[in-house]
Structure 1
């Protein structure tokens, strides 16, 4: 199994198979628009702009599970990200990343990286071109700190 085996709803509510991102380096991030780490959207977008032509895609998954820091509608979240951080990378419908309603994608990501729940907004999973998880990063790890790992996978 790989991340390519999952289909998720994009932020407009349309089903999107992650197999569309085969042969790309993928960074999956659970996001929130009212969090102390929200400024990481700027770094994520900068990475995306720098490396998307080389095969990087960033997938943002809004989540309201941590102190309700993303309470708005999917459309409001998308507008916030675009207006405040110029986000152009794909955003998806709001999901749960922990608990009984956890999205199947996150069941997989968590089970494949040791089984620890997502600790906060902006946890990151770096996925290789083969769809396998390369590494999990804590929320406090900034997008800029991932650049070397991303560049290596794209080489």
Structure 2
């Protein structure tokens, strides 16, 4: 995976601003709006496109024992998508290489095996020195709550801040996740 210059510059701008200082990002998209994921087959999936809407970002793997959570994520997308929620899957090879597929094959497997219709990023590192800038930023925002396995969930609020992190074992239908999403959707 290559880290695009734009992502590196955005991350540096956020870090340079510091947590207590004025943000170095477009106010309408919040700090998460500075990041974008590569899409399978080319192009980008910029988080700024979801400004003003909550986004659930989940590192996934099609060959993981937690892969049935795809169905729960699809359930959230179906239930709350028309109210503004976006779910984004970020396939990752970081945990036992349980994402053996690449590119469009990942999206096809998620669609065919789990009914996924929400956006998927290209295969991306989510931990370690090669981690995508979004995941490095999220780890800084929620210390001790970074992905320890596949299907770790981050909820980005309507204002672009990182609102919550949910461990792998927390199912997408868990009341804690649903309540956090409803709270974000309920904000004006």
Structure 2 unaligned regions, length at least 5: 1-13, 15-30
Which runs of structure 1 show a deviation greater than 3 angstroms over 4 or more consecutive aligned residues? none
Which deviations, in whole Å up to 9, do the C-alpha atoms of 1:127-149 show, x marking residues without a partner? 11000011111000000011121
Contact 2:145/2:165, CA 8 A, preserved across alignment? no
CA–CA distance in structure 2, aligned partners of residues 116 and 47 of structure 1: 22
Once the two structures are TM-superposed, the CA of residue 29 in structure 1 deviates from its matched residue by 0.3
1:147 aligns with 2:147: no
1:129 correspondence with 2:129: no
| Contact 2:145–2:167 under 8 Å retained in 1 | no
1: CA distance, partners of 2:111 / 2:145: 31
Secondary structure at the aligned position of 1:48 is classed as helix
Counterpart contact for 2:56–2:156, Cα < 8 Å: yes
- RMSD (Å), alpha carbons: 1.2
Q: What does residue range 66-105 of structure 1 map to in structure 2 within 5 Å?
A: 66-105=95-134
1:56 counterpart (81, 85, 99) = 85
Report the Cα offset of residue 117 of structure 1: 4.2
Q: Which has the higher contact order (CA 8 A, sep 6+)?
A: 1
Kindly indicate which of the two structures has a greater share of residues assigned to strand.
Answer: 1
> Is contact 1:12-1:92 (8 Å) kept?
no
Deviations along 1:64-111, whole A, 9 cap, x unmatched? Answer: 111110011121111100111111111001011111111111111111
| Cross-structure match for 1:26 | 55
Structure possessing the higher radius of gyration over alpha carbons: 2
| Count of residues in Structure 1 that have an aligned counterpart in Structure 2 | 155
1:112 match: 141
Partner secondary structure for residue 138 of structure 2? helix
Query: What is the distance in 1 between the residues matched to 2:146 and 2:58?
Result: 14
CA distance in structure 1 between the partners assigned to 2:132 and 2:100 by the alignment: 17
Q: Is the 8 A contact 1:47 1:144 kept in 2?
A: yes
What is the DSSP-based 3-state SS (H/G/I as helix, E as strand, rest coil) of the residue aligned with 2:57? strand
Question: What's the TM-score once normalised by structure 2's chain length?
Answer: 0.79
Aligned to 2:27: none
TM-score computed with the length of structure 1 as normaliser: 0.95
